[in-house]
Amino acid sequence: MSMAEAVLQGEIRAISRLISKIENGEPDALEQLKQLYQHTGNAVVIGLTGAPGAGKSTLTNQLISNYLEKGFKVAVIAVDPSSVFTGGGVLGDRIRMPQVHKNLYIRSLATRGYLGGLSKAIGKTIKVLDAAGYQRIIIETVGTGQSEIEIRNFAQVVVVVNTPNMGDDIQTLKAGIMEIGDIYIVNKADLPEADRTVSDLIKMSQIVGPKHGGWMPPVLKVIAADGTGVPELVAEIEKYYLYASSAGVLSMNKLAMAKNELMEELKEAILAEALQKLQENGKWEECSSQVAKGELDPWTGAEHLLKCLKQ
Ligand SMILES: Nc1nc2c(ncn2[C@@H]2O[C@H](COP(=O)(O)OP(=O)(O)OP(=O)(O)O)[C@@H](O)[C@H]2O)c(=O)[nH]1
Ligand SMILES: [Mg+2]
């Protein structure tokens, strides 16, 4: 049985090995992914994003429990290896193990060492998990919008996790985050000022107005620490997904994701080919040392190299 076939059977070891190959950039991974691609497109990908310490991992654990209870196969991708997952409380202890329940798979992808390739690794990892039959894939990322990882490129449902007492810092949220979320939550609603934060967020979302031709992102109060508000959050996630499917938002996003993915692959392929050619004919070294010596500026240098490629 090929690795791809084993992944399709949902074999954990094959899934883990393939994701490692993706992480390491092994070319063989692409051959497996090509076989898996036609089996993808069934998972709902949920992005959880928010400031460090907002409670994303705690909330992820709650979502895991909720979805497992509903009988879903759930996978989690943590783009932050420091996050700790309990497996949705399936085991009592906090445990850093990927496999604590037969319907659960947890994987961390580290930001270190990827040199900008992390987002590609995420995209491919999602495809593996989707093909392996995980129906809900949760991605935890720190940051909102400006970070290297643009969660919107991967997730069909984006949940932005806020906390009370943002006080004057609410200014820092501004339009940027109000554009990325499909659902906003105020986690740690057991703390004071939660209601004020909720009403601030509602005001801001009213200024931005409905998204995607009619969806008004709801603002929910949640206490991830004890699960309060989690069933309501799950209901909103599912509701948004249905809305987005029927309103054509998902197919629009799919086209944007396809373009993004093709662009990334193409950039890499074109660059590799170009560099190889320029290295073979010596132009790369020649031009680089001219720029280094100050005989040539890098802009003219790049134009010159481009001309060489066209010859
Ligand atoms: N009071 C209160 N504390 C909470 C709640 N949810 C999470 N916390 C606490 O907030 C802290 C951060 O929680 P995490 O779930 O690790 O937050 P995170 O957003 O994943 O953090 P990073 O991954 O480091 O960005 C922990 O000490 C949690 O126990 C809540 O609902 N109420
Ligand atoms: Mg975390």
**pLDDT tens digits along 132-154:** 999 999 999 876 545 545 788 88
Report the C-alpha gap between 186 and 168 in whole angstroms. 16
Q: Cβ(46)–Cβ(63) under 8 Å?
A: yes
- Does position 96 have pLDDT exceeding 50, yes or no? no
Ligand 1 pocket member 192 (CB < 6 A): no
3-state class of 83 per DSSP? Answer: coil
Pick the closest to residue 120 from 191, 19, 50, 36 (CA basis). 19
Q: What is the pTM of this model?
A: 0.87
Q: Indicate if ligand 1 lies below 6 Å from the C-beta of 261.
A: no
pLDDT tops 50 at residue 246:
yes
Taking the centre of ligand 2 as the mean of its atom positions, its distance from the CA of residue 36, in whole angstroms, is 29
Read off the pLDDT band of 116 (50, 70, 90).
very low
Q: Is the CB of 217 under 6 A from ligand 1?
A: no
- What superfamily does domain 41-109+132-248 belong to in CATH? P-loop containing nucleotide triphosphate hydrolases (3.40.50.300)
C-alpha to C-alpha distance for 49 and 173, rounded to whole angstroms:
13
Q: Domain-by-domain residue ranges, the chain?
A: 41-109+132-248, 262-310
Q: Is the CB of 78 under 6 A from ligand 1?
A: no
Query: Does 47 have pLDDT greater than 70?
Result: yes
pLDDT reading at 239 higher than 80: yes
Report the nearest-CA residue for atom 12 of ligand 1.
53
Ligand nearest the Cα of residue 106 is: 2
Of the candidates 78, 100, 72, 102, which has an alpha carbon nearest to the alpha carbon of residue 88? Answer: 100
For ligand 1, atom 8, the nearest C-alpha belongs to 55
In the numeric block, which tokens belong to residue 57? 């991992």
What pLDDT is recorded for position 97?
46
Q: Is 84 in the pocket of ligand 1 (CB under 6 A)?
A: no
> What does the alpha-carbon distance between residue 222 and residue 121 come to, in Å, rounded to a whole number?
31
Q: What does the alpha-carbon distance between residue 115 and residue 268 come to, in Å, rounded to a whole number? A: 13
8 Å CB contact between 183 and 220: yes
φ, ψ (nearest 5 deg) of residue 24: -85, 0
d(CA 95, CA 83): 11
